[in-house]
Each structure stands twice: as structure tokens, then as C-alpha cells.
């Protein structure tokens, strides 16, 4: 047996999840589109990157994936910011800039990337669309980090628009305060009991899903999983205030409303697809449809952006990278007369998932698999997991105040991911008073992604109208 070559000083081993996201068939990239309120200055971005991103070890290292039994590792290298910033020539008389942005992003995702350089690039597009005056379209290999770590990175590189010297702040989740010691003890015991019960049930269901067959064929799953791959990326900017109107009327969370909106939109889309089928053998009922989604969970504890900025300045890699778990959720695919039922179903299932250790279990399962059985077993397990779901859902919360990146005021931030063997990836981000719906689709399966997005937006408007009627009725009582 050949002796394994020792690592040179400065080289860092690749984490199990970074290894997973660089495997054939799961070679994943994070796609981030940032719209700006004014024309972009490429020189300002190059200088800004030199003082921020290039100080991060992951963004100034080459990924050696490891072949022939060798361990994958990060190898530090010298980086020129100019080599990672692309400024294409764009026809100023372009007819449809919104369509151009979609096509440019989709084409960039599948263009080859130079593995001899750090695996990231940024494209600056000076063109006006319906949502922004210019754009930064960035591609980051998923081995560099997950969506939450990249959002943290963006915030650490940004500054408040109202105070250019201050870092942005994230809204921390509210913690309930219990003053009665006895009641606090009872609440803790009850929490632990519920946590253990939910964990047992959810982990058992998770293992059953791994041993089961994949989701039934629908218009969202009509190709072999080996050939599925999103090849079109679109996004839509909607109002966060509309979401909050529904949230307040239902006394639920923003995430509950978002998941309810997605379920309602998918139900309406599938129902219309089934109604349009003329062949009686192909015509199916929405009530017989059973779909599952893989939902990613952030496993990090909350941390101040100031600490993240200092961590990057000190060239630290701690807490950066991929620290995510996932859960499998059944989607409520029904034609409901009560539009709020989609939100109630979403809250019920997500409350159980959040009060369980299923996300941590999934993370540990993948980690132990690669450490004990190797990379091939890790890939097989991951493909089986994604093969038991039709959709990937992800939600990343952004800042609640206006921020600027290298003196460019941001209008919105959209994000998605490529490389997963799914026909549909739904990624939701928020920024100030906006929610951005980003869909990654396989056009061979979903040839009309804008129509699907329309159904989701229309579902939210129906929820908003119902919420306003409910509030008016409550006031009249």
C-alpha cells in the first residue's frame, strides 16, 4: 500500500460536505445575483475584493479533489482579483434586459470553470432591468460554503447605507423570558420530552423514506433522476409586507407563510397541468399526488456580523464552509377552498421538524458515512436521499436594512444552487422589505417556469386578500 503523502504547511483537508459537493453528479455551485440601484464600477469591486474576500483562505486556495485514494485538500495560492472579475460587453439597445439576465445567468452556471484557480467568479453587468440598474452575478463552488455562510460573507463585506462605517445587523430571534423558576424547570423538561419524541418519530420516518421508492411520476418528475439538472434560473421580487400581512393575520412566522405559498402555487400548477391532459390514461387527480421536498437547515448558532468580519480579517476558517442539515417533508398537494390551509399544514410539519434533531442526524449520517465507508458510499447515500424527493427548498434571511457593497447600494439579492439532481429548486431570500423567489428548473420537465412562479405569487395575493378580509371581520366583531 502506498504511503499517503503528508500535507504541506498551509494545506487544509477538505470537509466531508465540501467533498460531497465536488463529486461527479453532485458538482454544485451557489449562484448569487445582486441588483444595484446605480451603475456598477468594476474597479471599485476589484479593490474591494482585495481588501475583503481575498483575505479569506477558502477564496484564495485551490481545491484538490483527490484521486487514487488521496485525500482532498485546500492548497493556498496567490490570487489576482482581476482574474475572477468579468465585465462583458452588453448591447445598450438590448430589447429584453430581464430575459437577457436570465439567459446570461443560466449560461454562466454551466460554463466550464478553471480548477487551477480558486473556485469562484463574479460577472458585472451594467444594464437596466425592471428591478435594478446594474448587477453582480457570482458563482461560488458549493465546497466553499453553504448559503448561510455566503450570506454572512456578503454582510461582512458590506456596510450600512445609512452609516457607511457600520456593519449590517441581522435580526436575532426573540427569546422568551420566564421569571418563575418552577415554571421554567417544567418548561425545560417538557421541551426535552417533546424534542426526544419528535426526534424518534422524524428520524424513523427519515429512514423509512430512504428505504422507500421515489416520489410518484408527476409533471415535476418525468425524467430519470440521473438526467435531471436545473438548466434555467429565474427570479421574481415580491413584497415582504404582503407576507407580513398574512403572517400577522394567522399569528404565524414568515417562513410558515412562504412554505404555504410554495405549496399552494405548486398545487395550482399541477392541478392545471392535470386538467389540460386530454388522454384519459394520463389524466390524474391532484388528491392522489404525493410529493416530498428536501429542506436545508442551518446548524450554526447565531453570531454577530462584527465577529464574522473580524474572523475574516484574521484569516480564520472557523464556522465557514458547509454546516447544514436537511429534513424530508411531505408537501400538501391538494385543491383547497380555504387558502390558509396550506399555511396551517406548513406550520404543523415545520414545527415538528424544528423541534427535533433530524437536521443534526442527517448531517452526522453523511459525515459518518464518508469517514467510515469513503467517498463512493457518501455519493451513493446522497443520490439516494435526493432521489427520494422531488424538490429542494431553501430559505436564507438577509438584512432588514439597506446595505452597500463596495459603495454600491443594493436593490435586492437573489440566490440559487445548481448541480442537484432535481427538476425544481426553490430558493427564497429576503432583503429589507422584499422577498425574492428564485426557481431553478429543468426545462425538459418544467418548460414554463414563469407560469409556475405566477401561481406562487397569485397564491400569496389570495392569502393577502383573505387575511385582510379576516382582519376586517375581526374589527367589526
Which residues are part of the catalytic machinery?
142
Nearest CA among 243, 354, 220 for reference residue 293: 220
Helix (H, G, I), strand (E, B) or coil at 126: coil
- Cβ atoms 100, 135 nearer than 8 A: no
Side-chain-side CA neighbours of 322 within 13 Å: the count stands at: 24
Cβ contacts of 371 within 8 Å, gap of 6 or more: 16
- E strand or H helix at 361, and its extent? helix 358-373
Cβ atoms within 10 Å, residue 366: 20
Write the DSSP assignment of 233-277 as a string of letters: EEEEEEEHHHHHHHHHHHT--HHHHHHHHHHHHHHHHHHHHHHH-
Cβ contacts of 430 within 8 Å, gap of 6 or more: 240, 254, 396, 397, 398, 436
Three cell numbers, residue 47 = 479593490
- E strand or H helix at 307, and its extent? helix 305-313
Calpha distance 198→204 (Å, rounded): 10
| C-alpha separations of 145 from 116, 248, 291, 317 in Å | 19, 34, 28, 11
Sign of CA pseudo-dihedral 47, 139, 262, 206: negative
- E strand or H helix at 121, and its extent? strand 120-125
Give the residue carrying C-alpha cell 438526467: 227
**Counting Cβ atoms within 10 Å, is residue 211 exposed (0-12), middle (13-18) or buried (19+)?**
exposed
Nearest CA among 151, 137, 120 for reference residue 57: 120
| C-alpha separations of 2 from 11, 68, 70, 251 in Å | 20, 10, 10, 62
Helix (H, G, I), strand (E, B) or coil at 49: helix
Phi, psi values for residue 292, rounded to 5°: -120, 150
Calpha distance 440→393 (Å, rounded): 11
Partners of 393 in the beta sheet?
Answer: 295, 426
| C-alpha separations of 134 from 42, 89, 158, 434, 462 in Å | 11, 13, 17, 18, 32
Amino acid at each position: 500500500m502506498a504511503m499517503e503523502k503528508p500535507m504541506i504547511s498551509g494545506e487544509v483537508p477538505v470537509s466531508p460536505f465540501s467533498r460531497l459537493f465536488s463529486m461527479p453528479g453532485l458538482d454544485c455551485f451557489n449562484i448569487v445575483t445582486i441588483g444595484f440601484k446605480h451603475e456598477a464600477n468594476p474597479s471599485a469591486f476589484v479593490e474591494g475584493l482585495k481588501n475583503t474576500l481575498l483575505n479569506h483562505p477558502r477564496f484564495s486556495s485551490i481545491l484538490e479533489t483527490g484521486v487514487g485514494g488521496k485525500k482532498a485538500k485546500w492548497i493556498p495560492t496567490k490570487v489576482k482579483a482581476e482574474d475572477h472579475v468579468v465585465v462583458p460587453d452588453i448591447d445598450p439597445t438590448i430589447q429584453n434586459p430581464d430575459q437577457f439576465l436570465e439567459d446570461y445567468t443560466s449560461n454562466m452556471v454551466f460554463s466550464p470553470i478553471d480548477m487551477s484557480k480558486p473556485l469562484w467568479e463574479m460577472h458585472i453587468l451594467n444594464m437596466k432591468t425592471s428591478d435594478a440598474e446594474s448587477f453582480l452575478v457570482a458563482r461560488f463552488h458549493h465546497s466553499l460554503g453553504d448559503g448561510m455562510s455566503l450570506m454572512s460573507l456578503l454582510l461582512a463585506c458590506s456596510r450600512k447605507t445609512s452609516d457607511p462605517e457600520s456593519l449590517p445587523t441581522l435580526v436575532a430571534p426573540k427569546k422568551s423570558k420566564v421569571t418563575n423558576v418552577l415554571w421554567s424547570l417544567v418548561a425545560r423538561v417538557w421541551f426535552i420530552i417533546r424534542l426526544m419524541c419528535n426526534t424518534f418519530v422524524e428520524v424513523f420516518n427519515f429512514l423509512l423514506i430512504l428505504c422507500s421508492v421515489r416520489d410518484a411520476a408527476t409533471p415535476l418528475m418525468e425524467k430519470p433522476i440521473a438526467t435531471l439538472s436545473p438548466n434555467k434560473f429565474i427570479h421574481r421580487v415580491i413584497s415582504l409586507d404582503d407576507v407580513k400581512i398574512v403572517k400577522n393575520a394567522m399569528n404565524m412566522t414568515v417562513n410558515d407563510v412562504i412554505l404555504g405559498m410554495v405549496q399552494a402555487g405548486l398545487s395550482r400548477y399541477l392541478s392545471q397541468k392535470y386538467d389540460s391532459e386530454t388522454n384519459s390514461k394520463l389524466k390524474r387527480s391532484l388528491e392522489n399526488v404525493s410529493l416530498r421536498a428536501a429542506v436545508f437547515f442551518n446548524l450554526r448558532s447565531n453570531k454577530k456580523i462584527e465577529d464574522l468580519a473580524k474572523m475574516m480579517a484574521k484569516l480564520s476558517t472557523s464556522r465557514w464552509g458547509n454546516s447544514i442539515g436537511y429534513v424530508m417533508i411531505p408537501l400538501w398537494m391538494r385543491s383547497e377552498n380555504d387558502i390558509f390551509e396550506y399555511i396551517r399544514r406548513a406550520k404543523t410539519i415545520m414545527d415538528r421538524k424544528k423541534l427535533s434533531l433530524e437536521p443534526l442526524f442527517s448531517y452526522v449520517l453523511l459525515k459518518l458515512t464518508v469517514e467510515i465507508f469513503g467517498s463512493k458510499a457518501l455519493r451513493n447515500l446522497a443520490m439516494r436521499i435526493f432521489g427520494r424527493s422531488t424538490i429542494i427548498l431553501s430559505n436564507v434571511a438577509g438584512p432588514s436594512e439597506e446595505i452597500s457593497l463596495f459603495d454600491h447600494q443594493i436593490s435586492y439579492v437573489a440566490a440559487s444552487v445548481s448541480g442537484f439532481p432535481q427538476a425544481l429548486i426553490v430558493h427564497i431570500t429576503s432583503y429589507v422589505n422584499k422577498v425574492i423567489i428564485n426557481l431553478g428548473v429543468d426545462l425538459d420537465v418544467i418548460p414554463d417556469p414563469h407560469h409556475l412562479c405566477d401561481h406562487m405569487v397569485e397564491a400569496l395575493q389570495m392569502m393577502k386578500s383573505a387575511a385582510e378580509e379576516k382582519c376586517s371581520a375581526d374589527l367589526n366583531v
